[in-house]
Chains A and B, each alone.
Chain A
Amino acid sequence: MSMLAAITRHELRRSLRDRALPWLIILFAALAAYGAWNGARWAEERTDTVQIVADEATDGIAKKREQFAELKPGATPGFAGPQFTPFRPVLRPGVMAPLSIGQAEAYPYAARVAPMGDIRIFDAFKVDVDNPAVRAAGRFDLAFVIVFVLPLVLMAATFDLWSRERERGISAMVVSQPVSVTTLLAGKALSRALVLLTPIILATLAVLYVAGARDLAALAAVALVVAAYGAFWIALASLINVFAKRSTEAALAGGAAWLTIVVLAPALILATVDIIVPAPSALQFTSAYQAQSQDIRKAQRLAREAKGPEVIRDPAPNIPDRTRGFLKDRAIEDRTLAPLIRRHEEALAERRAVLNSLRLFLPAVATQDALDRIAGSDADRALSFQAQAMAFMKVTKDWMAERFDRDALLTSDDYDHIPKFEFKEPPAGAFQTGVLIDLAAILAAGLLLAAGVALGRRAATTI
């Protein structure tokens, strides 16, 4: 152990004298700052957008209050039927949003809930009007800098960890000393990790703090993820140096490894999944949904017409029977369409489960996933919002049915007591199970590489 400490100290002194390292760290910090600024700007815009949607409900209710104020004494406020109450459940960006935009643009962030609504409550927020070319390029956020750029910085700083000594003929002299190659490589890797990862982690946390992402537990989780991912790449550089005899070879191998791990493997695996477990067709689902819905509504319309003109009770109820009929019809439609929706959602969930499990074998994807989860821009949070919004719509339906039963229109004061949506964040916050699984996957991959270094140590001594 003391030998390892001595080598690490010696290598630390050498690393600190390397004039290229500060520039690499400055490059990373500059890109990280730009990424965090981009992320913060995106979060700010998303917050404003969400507020516009939330204001639709507030403005709608304010308008109803104005109508109440203008209502003539004794007149029935037909506009105050519970079915006309606007609800806008929204998903606000999390406090760590500047870290990663993640999947936040691939899922709806709000819903236009009306008590008589259906699953199409999200439709308006599935479309966007920003430039698709900008989306297709991929967002330049801090997560991109960590997942894509950090490995390049680490590879540039560590690709000749041992190969340089071998190339210059110093390695023979070094291995002739009473020290194992494994300890030597471990000391070198440890020193580079300390010299590189300490300022990189500090820079990451600093830019996040400045960008407004100030949750301490989440910052700690980010530090852990960056440390684990960084350690994985330094372990990979060590493994490459066990086998590469020349620095050029090591650089080539490092570049190829980066291309494979960060770019090709995830893209190709995703392409394979697209063939084996394709996403259920949104077009087919929409067509089928429209067809069934239209058939049901047509049948209901014909049944209504067959009954003849509507008979209005005397005295007329506040909520017309025709509206109650619509509520019943909508309940029948919901029940009839439920199996179609369930089948589609199950197919989506099955594909997502496959995609999620793949991250266990892909450290870059596990890192992206962990950062998305910490930022609150992951698919699970978006899906949780959808589930909670749908559950909320059920609450509004029950609330409406109860008022229908009492034939109770709303009063101006009632709008203070209508159901309210509040998004429940996943328990455990930044250290949620998904993040812990990601961390375990990255660490396991790093340990596997370290084991490879130990097993291949003989190759490191050949000249």
Chain B
Amino acid sequence: MTTQSAHAPSPVLVVARNQLRLMVRDNRLRLLAVAVVLLAVASLATGMARVQAQAVERHAATQEDKRLWDSLGPVNPHGAVHSGRSVYAPVAPLAAFEPGLSDFLGSSVKLEGHSQNPSRDRPMEGGSAISRFAGFSAAWALQVVAPLLIILAGFTIFSGERARERLKQELGSGASARVLVFGRLIGLTTASLTLLGAFVAAGILTLAIANASMNEGLRLLAMSIGYGLYLLVFCSLTIGVSALFPSARAALVSLLAFWAASTLLIPRIAPAIAENLHPTPSAPAFEDAVSEEAKNGVSGHDPRDERLLALKEKLLKQYNVTKVEDLPFNFEGVSLEFGEKNSSDTYNRHYDKLFGAYANQTAVQQAFSVISPNMAMTPWSRAFAGTDFAAHRLFLREAEDYRYELVQALNNDITRNKPTDGGVAIYRTDVSEIADRVAFEPRITTPAEAWAAQKSNLLILSIWAAVSLAFAAWAATRLERTT
């Protein structure tokens, strides 16, 4: 007898198994879950095809850009600076799973002298009314549709007349409400994690097809941990609400209201509020502010021309000459290098301020995660997929470093090549040789960088999971008393 009870499964597990069996037998749920998985797999497959096409396209564009640059032939280096070059953002393989901000970020940057252009060629350009409905992806299915499935699968577990009658019998036969609540929570969570597992398996398959690195697997694992916690929140809340409300209708309405608010409304309202609190300038206003500061200095009373004049005087004095023509180098190049540094410093200050406003907006949005777990889940998912703004900013920073280095190398070439004929002929050189000395090798953010930026969101998700589990436990004690 003792041996038998030692091997008997725990009552919680028995309840969990029964709950799972019930859900598997529910044709509507099975159908819905299969439909969602199929849709997500289809979206993953098309997403992968799109990501691969983008990678091929950007590689080809990079090659073409190099060909065009190399075919400029002997030209004036500063003329080449104005012709400019283009660089293309790297494609994150997990963008197929979580496109994140991809459609709203420019895929290339035109690099030229005197200005730091924003990225361009955003896929969202040139749409139609239907474009406002875009955005279905495997990640979106997990963030929005999976919680809805959990609610539909679980809202009648304890609420409703039938469930209450069955509950009375179960409690009468000696089961405790706590065992029933946690058993069913384990059942519902297992089903949800199975759904997540199907998504992750599809993700691994697509990564394998794309020959992705181990790093991508690590990213997917981190994303899965976040999604696991996120789905656990909805499972616990569904079980808790179902145990708390005697009427299935009231339970359903409450859960659907929470779902609609947390996955659809708050993710739209929070950014709008954040933007109102921390506004960003329009592109022309930004451009005007940069031009004004580059011309008149940070204080507005330090004109560029006077600063250049001071530099000229200093050099004349240093080399003990009276005319720039007598300097041992080409002052035109020095002037161009000075101008480039001045405009770059100005742009850097303004971009830092702009991205500071973005960071403030992100903080406001994160504050909304107190009422919506989706506000913590989405940035976590995007960061590990490499499709958030941090990944794009890294590309912009690398592009700017490259631009500055290339432009100054070209300007410096003018400095080092003083005209020997009194400056009549335009100085020309093979700029491809100069450009070859400067390399642009963009990368996407590493999992470690994503972790450093996103650990607070994982903490928020963990707190949500703990609080919702506590809520389910509290609902269990209420259930025992009210049934």
Contacts and interface: CB of A to CB of B under 8 A. Distances in A.
Contact of B127 (A52, A103, A271): A103
B46 A274 contact: yes
Given A129-B118, A133-B389, A251-B252, A138 B132 contact: yes
B17 to A, nearest CB: 26
A163 to B, nearest CB: 11
Interface stretch (B180-188, B207-215, B227-235, B275-283): B275-283
Interface string B250-279: 001100100010001101111110111000
A129 B286 contact: yes
Contacts of A173: none
A131 B280 contact: yes
Contacts of B119: 127
Contacts of A87: none
A259 B148 contact: yes
Contact of B128 (A103, A130, A133): A103
Interface residues of A, number: 79
A233 interface: no
B82 to A, nearest CB: 12
A140 interface: yes
Contacts of B252: 248, 251-252
A67 interface: no
Given A106-B124, A131-B361, A358-B130, A52 B104 contact: no
Contacts of B136: 263-264, 267-268, 271
A203 interface: no
B97 to A, nearest CB: 14
A69 interface: no
A389 to B, nearest CB: 15
B6 interface: no
B88 interface: yes
B107 A362 contact: no
B129 A365 contact: yes
| Interface of chain A: mostly helix, strand, loop or mixed | helix
Interface string A420-461: 000000000000000000000000000000000000000000
Nearest to A123: B120
A180 interface: no
A75 interface: no
B430 interface: no
Interface in A38-58: 38, 41, 45, 48-49, 52-53, 56
A230 B89 CA distance: 44
Interface string A352-383: 10011011001011001100100000110000
Given A137-B271, A267-B136, A127 B253 contact: no
Interface residues of B, number: 88
A331 B79 CA distance: 22
Contact of A359 (B129, B134, B281): B129
Contacts of A127: 106, 117-120, 283
A34 B65 CA distance: 47
B165 interface: no
A144 B268 contact: yes
A225 to B, nearest CB: 12
A103 B131 contact: yes
A381 to B, nearest CB: 12
B170 interface: no
Nearest to A255: B256
Nearest to A248: B248
A106 B127 contact: yes
Interface string B280-298: 1111111110000000000
A124 B264 CA distance: 33
Nearest to B83: A294
Contacts of A369: 128-129
A307 B287 CA distance: 40
A194 B443 CA distance: 59
B365 interface: yes
A137 B285 contact: no
B108 A274 contact: no
Contacts of B352: none
Contact of B68 (A132, A290, A379): A290
A81 to B, nearest CB: 20
Interface stretch (A211-219, A280-288, A396-404): A280-288
Given A134-B275, A251-B249, A287-B64, A368 B132 contact: yes
Contact of A53 (B65, B270, B284): B284
B429 interface: no
A125 B117 CA distance: 12
A202 interface: no
A136 interface: yes
11 contacts: A103-B127, A107-B125, A128-B283, A133-B361, A144-B268, A251-B253, A255-B152, A275-B49, A359-B130, A364-B133, A368-B130
Interface of A: 34, 38, 41, 45, 48-49, 52-53, 56, 102-103, 106-107, 110, 123-140, 144, 148-149, 152, 156, 247-248, 251-252, 255, 259, 262-264, 266-271, 274-275, 279, 281-284, 286-287, 290-291, 294, 298, 348, 352, 355-356, 358-359, 362, 364-365, 368-369, 372, 378-379
Nearest 5 Cβ contacts at the A-B interface: A266-B133, A369-B129, A267-B136, A355-B128, A49-B282
Given A136-B101, A138-B132, 7 more contacts: A131-B357, A137-B270, A247-B249, A251-B252, A271-B136, A365-B129, A368-B133
